[in-house]
Amino acid sequence: MNNGIKSTEQGLASLASGTAPVAAGTGGATPAAGSGGGAALGAAATGSAAPSPQVQITSTASQLAALEQSLQAQPEVDAERVRRVQSALADGSYRLDPSRIAGGLLQSEQTLATL
């Protein structure tokens, strides 16, 4: 599935694995927190070893990574559902249920609020 967010997928995958992507041109060094990056880049440029930054993954990031993996396992299009909706539209039996739509929106909002 190529939907234009490949870098986001790679970022989530790196979060799930506990690795952080390294910015191009830094020689493998990442800026130290609060230093503006000068100290870590300076250490890499002079050849002295800078301490490796530690990455901690939040539970939300882990949940998002797991969700992404489960979504990738799903087919992009449910062909049977498309066929049923097309048939219902063609014979005039397709009906919208506003209360069901509203309930689904509220459930989505409640789910997102817990993250």
Q: What is the pLDDT of residues 28-81, one digit of tens each?
A: 444 444 444 444 444 445 556 777 788 788 888 889 999 999 988 888 899 999
Give which of 40, 42, 60, 59 is closest to 50, Cα–Cα: 40
Asked if the structure places residue 44 within a domain, the reply is: yes
Domain count across the chain? 1
Q: What string of DSSP letters covers 84-106?
A: HHHHHHHHT-----HHHHHHHHH
Asked if the structure places residue 90 within a domain, the reply is: yes
Percent of the chain at pLDDT > 90 equals 37
Q: How far apart are CA 10 and CA 19, in angstroms?
A: 11
Q: Which residue has the higher pLDDT, 2 or 90?
A: 90
Asked if the structure places residue 35 within a domain, the reply is: yes
Extended strands (E) in 28-101: none
Residue span of the structural domain in which 107 resides: 6-113
Asked if the structure places residue 33 within a domain, the reply is: yes
Q: How far apart are CA 18 and CA 69, in angstroms?
A: 15
Asked if the structure places residue 87 within a domain, the reply is: yes
Asked if the structure places residue 1 within a domain, the reply is: no
* pLDDT over threshold 80, residue 9: no
Asked if the structure places residue 91 within a domain, the reply is: yes
